[in-house]
Amino acid sequence: MNRFISIIICYFIAICPVFPQILKGKITNQSGEPVPSATVYIRELKQGTTSNITGDYEIRLPGGKYTIICQSLGYEQVSVSLTITDETVIRNISLSLQYYQIPEVRISATGEDPAYGIMRKAIGMAPYYLNNISHYKANVYLKGNLQIDKIPRLIKRSIEKQARKEKKSGGSGETVKEGEVYLMESYNEIEFTAPEKYVQKVLSYNSTFPEEGNEISPMQYISASFYQPVIADLAISPLSPNAFSHYNFKYLGASPQGNFSINKIAVIPKRKSQQLFEGTIYIIDELWCLQSVDLTIDNLAGKIRIEQLCIPVQDDIWMPVSDKFDVKISILGFKADAGYAVSVKYDEVIPNTALKKPAGITFRRNNIANAASDTVQNKKRKQIDRILSKEELSNRDMMRLSKLMKQESENSMPDSVRKNLEIIDNTTHVIEKDAGRKDSAYWAAIRPIPLSELEMKRMHVTDSIRRISEPIQSKSDTLKTEGKNQKDGGNSFAKEIKNVSFGNTWGKKDGLRFRFSGLFDPELLSFNTVDGFVYGLDFRLSKTWKDKKSLGIYPDVRWAFSRQQLMWRLNANYRFGGAKQKEVFIRSGMSSRDIGTGGGIDPLLNTVTSLFFKLNYPKFYNSDFIRLGYRSEITNGLTLELNGLMEYRYVLANTTGFSIINASREYTPNIPVNRYLASGADPLNAMRDQNHAALSAKVTYIPFQKYRMDGGSKIPAGSDWPSFSLSWEHGINDFNESGFSVTHYDMIRAEIFRKKDLGAFSEFRWRIRAGGFTDNRKLTFYDFFHFNQQPLPVLLKDYEDVFMNPFCYSLSTPESFFEVHLNYATPYLLLKMLPGLSNTLMRENLRMSLLGSRYRPTYTEIGYSLSEIFLFIEAGVYAGFDGTRYRNIGIKFILKLN
C-alpha cells in the first residue's frame, strides 16, 4: 500500500546535517494553535526543517550567528537573528496571518482579471525555470505516515491469506491492519547533473510498515515539476501552455516579502476532473516563478493535497525547501489517511549558464539598461525580451514566449546530449550498507522533522519487535524445517498439477526457459464451421546467452474434431548481432488459415457468435507452408527484411452446422462476401487449389530513431519523425489445371506512420498506405489486398487502423488502392465537458478512415468514442459513406484486454 501511495508524490529534495547544538521550539499562530508543516530555513547554511503535526521543530547547527526564516502558507514570513552556542536554544515563533491587497494598478481596462496577465508571463517562463539548474547536491529526508481506517472484508481475507503463506515460507507474516498507524522515513543524498542524470544514495531508512516498507523512492518523482505541462502523469499543471483551456484564474492580491512582491492567484478548474488541480499558487512578481503552491486534486485514490514552499537558495534561484502531501484515500472500500513531509537543504547549486536569463527580468531586478552577459544577443533572445517588455501579454504572446524559451532551453544542452539518440538510464541508486539498521540514537541525531508522541511510540514498539524476532537457530528449528520439507513433498505435487493444468514457465539461471500454456488455457479451445471444435497445446522453448544471442522454438498442435485433422505449426528464430540486431527465422505448418491477412476476427469472439447466434465470420483455406526469413538492422532506424515462401493451398468447406441455440439459421458458406467472388465475376479471381511461391522484401526507415541499450542489445524507443516502409513481393501460382499456366505477379506497397504526443493526455495518430499490382489479370482472392475489418459490435483488442462497419472481406481488392487512418484522442472535447463525465479518466476519440481503390467510390468512415471507461473499455459509434452517400452505422464496445 505504501508503494501505491508513493505515486502521488511529485518530487523530494531534502537534507539535515548532524551537529551537536540544537535549536528547537514550537510554531503557533496568533491564537496559540500549532502550525504544522511550517518551514524553518537557515539562510546562511541553506538548510531547512519542517514542524511536525504538533508545530514542534528541531534542528542541529554548528555554533555561530544565523538568520532564521520561518514561514507557512497563509502566514506572514518571520525573520529572526540569533546566536547558537554550545547549549540548546529554545525559540518559539508566532506567525501572523498574511493579508493580500489588490493594488489599483492591477485593475485591467479591458475588464479581464489581472491574474491572466500574471499567468501568461509565468506560463511563458516555465520552460526557463524547468531548465535553469545545471547541477545541485542535496540530501533528501522523507517522512511518511499511513493510518488505515477501513479494509474491505474481501481484501482483508486476501491479505491474511498471503500473510499465512509468507509465514509458512519463513517470513514475518506481518500485515497492515485497521486502526494502525504506520510510519516510514528515509535519508538520502542526491546529486543532479542536467539534463537528467541523478545519483541517489540511501544513507538510512526506517519503517514500521510490514516487510520494512523501504520501497518508496523519491527518484521517480524528483524530476517532476509544476513547470512541466503534466505532473508525474497525474494531472495538468496550472503552468501548462494550454492551461487556459482547463483553468480559470482569479487574482487574490499581492503581499510584500523582502524585496519581492508575491501574487496570490486562485486556480479554478473549468470542470470537475481527476486530472485538474484546484487551489492557490503564489507567483513572484517580475521574476514570474513559483513561490509556493497549495493545490488539491480528487482522483481514483482519493483526495490529494500538495503544499510546496520555495525559497531563494542562491540569488534569484527559487527552489523547494519543504513539501507536504496529504491524502484521503478512498478506493474500493479501502479508507485511509496518508501524509508525507519533506525537509530541505542544498549543499551546492550551479545555474545553467548556457541558458541566459531573459534581459527583461534582469532589467527589472537590477534597474540597469542592459544586463545580458553576452554583448551580442541572438534573434530568439531579442524576441523573448521584446515579449517580456510588454505590460500585458496576449495568449499568442504567451504561446510564443513558451515556445521560444523551450527552444532556448534545448539549445542550452551540449551537442553530446541534444544529438545523441541513445536514451540512457542516468539514475544511479545506491543503498548504504546497514542503511536499515540504524538505531534510535542515530535517528534522533539526524531527523530534521521531530516525531510526534504517537509516532515515537510506534517506532519504539517496532524496534522492540525486531529485536525480539532476531533469528536464533537451534536444533529444534532444524527438525521443524526438515519436517516442513517432508510436508512440502505433497505441496510440490499439487503445485505441479496446477502448473500442468493452467500453465507455467520453468527457467534456469543459464538462460534456458520452457513455457507450457496449460491444459485449460481458454485460448486453446475454439470453434468454427470449417474445423468444428478445435483444441490444442502449445509450448515455448527459449535460450538466451550472455552476449544476448537467443534461440526460440515455438511449436503448437491442434486437433480439428469435425474434419478429423491434425494441425500443427512450428516457429523458430535465432537473434544475434548485438547493437545491430539480426534475426533468422523459419515458419512451417499444416493448418487452416484465415483468407484475410489484414487483421482477422478474434477466435474467442467467433466461437461465441457461432455457437450462440450461428454467425461464423472468418473464412478459411488449408495451408501447408514453409517460410524462411532474414531481418537485419542496416543502420540505426533502417531495417531490411527478406522472406521466401512455399505453400500449398486448397479450398475448404464447412463441415459442421452445430450451434447451441438458434439452430434454425443456416451458416453461410466458406466463401467470402466480395464483388470479385459474386456470381458473374471473373472466374480467374475465384479461390481454387494451387501451389504458391513468393519472394518478398521490406525496408523500414525511422529517421532519428531513439533507442536504449540492454546488455549490448538495442531496444527501439520511438522517434519524433514518421516511420516509412516500402515492400515488394513477387508471387508465383501454379494451378495444375488444364488451360491455366503458371502465373506471376508483383505487388508494391508503401506506408507512412506517425504517433505524436500533444501533451495533457492528448495524442494524434495517423497512417497512410498505398499499393498496387503490376499485373492483376490472373490474381486469385488469396493474394488480394485485405484490410482490417471488424464488423462485430464487441471487440477484445484495441485495433489501431481498422474499418469498423464493412462486412469481412467486402473491401478486399486486386486493384491499386490508398488507405488513410486518422485518430485524435483528448481528455476534453464534447461529452467530457458534461458534469457527470468530466470527473472521470475517460478520453474522447475522433476517428476517420478512408479507402480508395480503382472502380469503386471512396469509402469514408467517421467515428466518435469514449475510451478508458473503467480504465479498459471503449464505446463508440461509427458511420460509413460511399463517396457522399450514407452506407451504414455501427456501435462498438472494445474491451482492451491486450
Q: What string of DSSP letters covers 302-313?
A: EEEEEEEEEEEE
- Dist. CA 340–CA 366, nearest whole Å: 39
635 backbone φψ class: left, alpha, beta (φ>0; ψ -120 to 50): beta
- Dist. CA 534–CA 526, nearest whole Å: 5
Terminal-to-terminal C-alpha distance of the chain:
26
The CA–CA distances, whole Å, from 296 to 130, 274, 277, 326, 616 equal 22, 10, 6, 9, 52
**C-alpha angle 599/602/607, rounded to 5°?**
145
Q: Are 28 and 92 in contact (CB under 8 A)?
A: yes
What residues contact 722, with CB distance under 8 A and at least 6 apart? 703, 752, 753, 754
Per-residue HEC secondary structure of 179-208 comes to CCEEEEEEEEEEEEECCCEEEEEEEEEEEC
What residues contact 30, with CB distance under 8 A and at least 6 apart? 94, 95, 96, 97
Q: Where are the alpha helices (DSSP H) in 469-534?
A: 475-502
Provide the residue count of the chain: 898
What residues contact 194, with CB distance under 8 A and at least 6 apart? 131, 133, 134, 135, 352, 413
Q: Is 568 helix (H, G, I), strand (E, B) or coil?
A: strand
Q: Are 842 and 869 in contact (CB under 8 A)?
A: yes
What are the cell numbers at 137?
A: 547536491
Instruction: Please give the helix or strand (H or E) that residue 701 lies within, else none.
Output: strand 690-701
Q: Is 737 helix (H, G, I), strand (E, B) or coil?
A: coil
**Among 299, 276, 219, 285, CA closest to 251:** 285
Burial (CB count within 10 angstroms: exposed 0-12, middle 13-18, buried 19+), residue 220: middle
Q: Are 208 and 458 in contact (CB under 8 A)?
A: yes
Residue 544's DSSP bridge partners are: 550
Instruction: Please give the helix or strand (H or E) that residue 131 lies within, else none.
Output: helix 115-131
- Dist. CA 884–CA 898, nearest whole Å: 35
Q: Are 2 and 216 in contact (CB under 8 A)?
A: yes
Burial annotation 350-363 (CB, 10 A radius, 16+ → b, else e)? ebbeebbbbbbbbb
**Residue 73: DSSP 8-state:** T
Q: What is the CA radius of gyration of the chain?
A: 34
For cell 481506517, the residue is 149
What are the cell numbers at 687?
A: 479461390
- Dist. CA 890–CA 803, nearest whole Å: 11
* pLDDT score at 219: 60
Q: Are 113 and 249 in contact (CB under 8 A)?
A: yes
Residue 206's DSSP bridge partners are: 185
- Dist. CA 858–CA 806, nearest whole Å: 13
Residue 770's DSSP bridge partners are: 750, 818
- Dist. CA 755–CA 758, nearest whole Å: 10
* pLDDT score at 2: 43
How distant is the alpha carbon of residue 88 from its chain centre? Answer: 49
- Dist. CA 264–CA 250, nearest whole Å: 9
What are the 10-residue block averages of pLDDT along the chain, 898 residues in total?
Answer: 39 38 88 86 77 84 86 85 85 88 62 90 93 88 84 75 67 70 85 85 83 54 80 87 92 87 93 91 93 89 86 84 83 81 83 84 52 55 86 88 88 79 79 83 78 72 53 42 47 79 86 90 92 95 89 96 96 90 95 90 94 94 97 94 96 94 86 92 89 97 89 83 97 80 92 90 94 90 95 91 94 96 92 85 94 92 94 94 94 87
* pLDDT score at 488: 52
**Among 353, 324, 325, 294, CA closest to 8:** 325
**Among 266, 317, 320, 275, CA closest to 294:** 266
**Residue 101: DSSP 8-state:** B
For cell 486437433, the residue is 559
- Cα diameter, the chain: 111
Per DSSP bridges, beta strands 21-29 and 89-90 are parallel
Provide the 10 A C-beta neighbour count for residue 852. Answer: 18
**Would you list the DSSP string of 584-622?**
EEEEEEEEEEES--S----HHHHHHHHHHH------EEE
**Among 752, 701, 699, CA closest to 728:** 699
**Residue 276: DSSP 8-state:** B
Per DSSP bridges, beta strands 512-516 and 504-507 are antiparallel
**Assessment of whether the complete model's pTM goes beyond 0.85:** no
Instruction: Please give the helix or strand (H or E) that residue 59 lies within, else none.
Output: strand 56-61
- Dist. CA 474–CA 458, nearest whole Å: 31
Instruction: Please give the helix or strand (H or E) that residue 68 lies within, else none.
Output: strand 64-71
* pLDDT score at 103: 65
**Residue 154: DSSP 8-state:** H
What residues contact 665, with CB distance under 8 A and at least 6 apart? 613, 614, 659
Burial annotation 367-404 (CB, 10 A radius, 16+ → b, else e)? eeeebbeeeeeeeebeebbebbeeeebeeebbbbbbeb
**Residue 240: DSSP 8-state:** S
- Dist. CA 155–CA 552, nearest whole Å: 40
- Dist. CA 147–CA 633, nearest whole Å: 54
- Dist. CA 259–CA 239, nearest whole Å: 24
- Dist. CA 105–CA 285, nearest whole Å: 13
Q: Where are the alpha helices (DSSP H) in 326-452?
A: 359-366, 379-388, 395-411, 415-418, 440-446
Read off φ and ψ for residue 288, nearest 5 degrees.
60, 40
**Among 518, 568, 558, CA closest to 534:** 558
Q: Where are the alpha helices (DSSP H) in 311-390?
A: 359-366, 379-388
327 backbone φψ class: left, alpha, beta (φ>0; ψ -120 to 50): beta
**Among 692, 687, 722, CA closest to 705:** 722
Residue 260's DSSP bridge partners are: 257
Read off φ and ψ for residue 398, nearest 5 degrees.
-60, -50
